[in-house]
Amino acid sequence: MELLLQKIEALRMKMIEEAERHGCFTHEKVVAISQQLDEYITRYHVLK
């Protein structure tokens, strides 16, 4: 469970960095990371 939380936090930080790099949260790379993050968050809530 802790590993999953670490992965979620790492992806969250990566998403923010990419959004800052591209200047928006709608860039395709940012959206792709966001979708991956959603999957991990869903897994976390299922396991919780």
The model's pLDDT over 1-45, given as tens digits with 9 standing for 90+, comes to 999 999 999 999 999 999 999 999 999 999 999 999 999 999 999
Give the separation between CA 12 and CA 3, rounded to whole angstroms: 14
- Give the tens place of pLDDT for each residue, 33-43: 999 999 999 99
Could you state, in order of their start, the residue ranges of all structural domains in the chain?
2-47
Model-level pTM?
0.91
How many CB atoms lie under 10 A from the CB of residue 39? 10
- Is 18:3 a contact under the CB 8 Å cutoff? no
The pLDDT, as a whole number, for residue 48 is 86
Backbone angles phi, psi at 27, to 5 degrees: -65, 145
